[in-house]
Amino acid sequence: MENTTTTSTKKVVEADVKKPRLTAAEFTKEFKRQWVLVAISVAYVIYGIIFYYLPLVGWLMAFQNFVYADGLTGSKWVGLDKFKFLFSDKTFIMVIRNTFAMGVLNLVFSTVFAIGFAILLNEVRNKYFKKTIQTISYLPHFLSWIIVVAIVHDALTSTGVINEILMTLKIVDKPYPFLQKEGWFWPIVTFSHLWKETGWNAIIYLAAITSIDPCLYESASIDGAGRFQKIKYVTLPGIRPTIMILLLMNLGNVLNAGFEIQYLLGNDLVRDVSRTIDIYILDWALDGRNMDYSLGTAAGIFKTVVAMTFIIVSNYIAKKRGDERLF
């Protein structure tokens, strides 16, 4: 604990005065000046240790045949058996594919749509109209997935609004069974994400756009740039660092393609494309009929390792290209 305190203090000091080393007297002086900041950061360090680092002890379960009643110390060690089972299980390979596919679709579409929406919104002149649209668009973010799924599900059943419209327009003569078709599942999930999150995701880009120096736009106008040229040469480059940072952070989340929506919207007919790693973990680790915590933990470790690799690799690439990066 002592150590952490000193390190964080040091960081603050370094950032403040950019001096590599401090004498003891200087340190005490700095500490006195900044003790409130230190106290506040200590709280977060403790929080982080308790909630992010201590639970990692549980990873040991992946190498055991964990039995709840025997605990971590009493359970039998089985080495890499659980991982071997995982990678020989066809279902696991299938859920990895599903998770990747939905994660990537999600990342690509939500980024593109959020940026596009933010730019469109930025171009709106009428301030009142702009605010109204913005508020309406981010409201769905506050709905829980169970509500969103209920709406999507209702809309897509044979008597739902989508089929009603298609039938009224004579595009189909019989209700189209969207939810029964494997091919439709990923698009429906991606669409639901877009519907729910585009408005919310756009906020951060909108904020980034606002912080672009207006002089740049003015000089662009003087140079004869039109609206589209201003977007292309001023707005987009202006928010490029934001885009890069968010993209990097979200890459780590690709395997968090979701649990709730797939769990709630999926059904037996589309289970081959709907189940994600999280559902697999739930099924093996927490379902009272299997209760294999070890296998669930192993799958969880796999997920974390992949996410870490993603972030590190993409960060490295960003660094090479001289773009904005995380670390």
Residues of this chain that interact with other proteins (CB under 8 A) are 36, 39-40, 42-43, 46-47, 50-51, 67-69, 91, 146, 153, 157-159, 175, 177, 179-180, 264, 267-269, 271-272, 282, 285-293
In the complex, what is the shortest distance from the CB of residue 68 to other proteins, in angstroms, rounded to a whole number? 4
Phi-psi region of 82 (alpha: psi -120 to 50; beta: other; left: phi over 0): alpha
Q: Judge whether 299 and 284 are in contact, CB under 8 Å.
A: yes
| CB 196 to other proteins: min, Å | 19
- Residue closer to other proteins (CB basis): 64 or 315: 64
Judged by beta carbon, residue 123 or residue 260, the one nearer other proteins is 260
Report the first-to-last Cα separation within the chain, whole angstroms: 24
| Cα 188 off chain centre by | 18
Q: What is the spatial distance between Cα 188 and Cα 186, in angstroms, rounded to a whole number? A: 5
H helix count then E strand count, the chain: 16, 2
**Least spacing, CB of residue 53 vs other proteins, in Å:** 14
- Complex with other proteins: residue 141 or 153, whichever CB lies closer: 153
| Element of type H or E holding 64 | strand 64-65
Report, in Å, the least distance between residue 118 CB and other proteins.
Answer: 33
Which of 153/230 has CB closer to other proteins?
153
Q: Minimum Å distance from CB 193 to other proteins?
A: 20
User: Of 181 and 325, which has the nearer Cβ to other proteins?
Assistant: 181
- Closest to other proteins by CB, 42 vs 236, is 42
Smallest separation (angstroms) from other proteins to the CB of 282: 6
Report which of 205, 194, 200, 178 is spatially closest to residue 266, judged by C-alpha positions.
178
- Give the closest residue to 239 by CA, choosing from 200, 193, 197, 203: 203
Q: Which of 146, 171, 168, 149 is nearest to 159 (CA)?
A: 168
Comparison of 39 and 112: residue with beta carbon closer to other proteins? 39
> The tokens of 15 are what?
């950032």
Compute the least distance from the CB of residue 6 to other proteins, in Å.
Answer: 18
Phi, psi of 64 (to 5 degrees): -125, 170
Closest to 96 (Cα-Cα) out of 291, 305, 312 = 305
Among 185, 195, 156, 183, smallest CA distance to 262 is for: 185
CB of residue 265 to other proteins, shortest distance in Å: 9
Minimum separation from the CB atom of position 45 to other proteins (A): 10
Tell me how far apart the alpha carbons of residues 121 and 198 are, in angstroms, rounded to a whole number.
12
CB of 217 or CB of 263, closer to other proteins: 263
Q: What does the alpha-carbon distance between residue 284 and residue 295 come to, in Å, rounded to a whole number?
A: 7
Nearer to other proteins, 36 or 57 (CB): 36
**Partners of residue 65 on adjacent β-strands:** 76
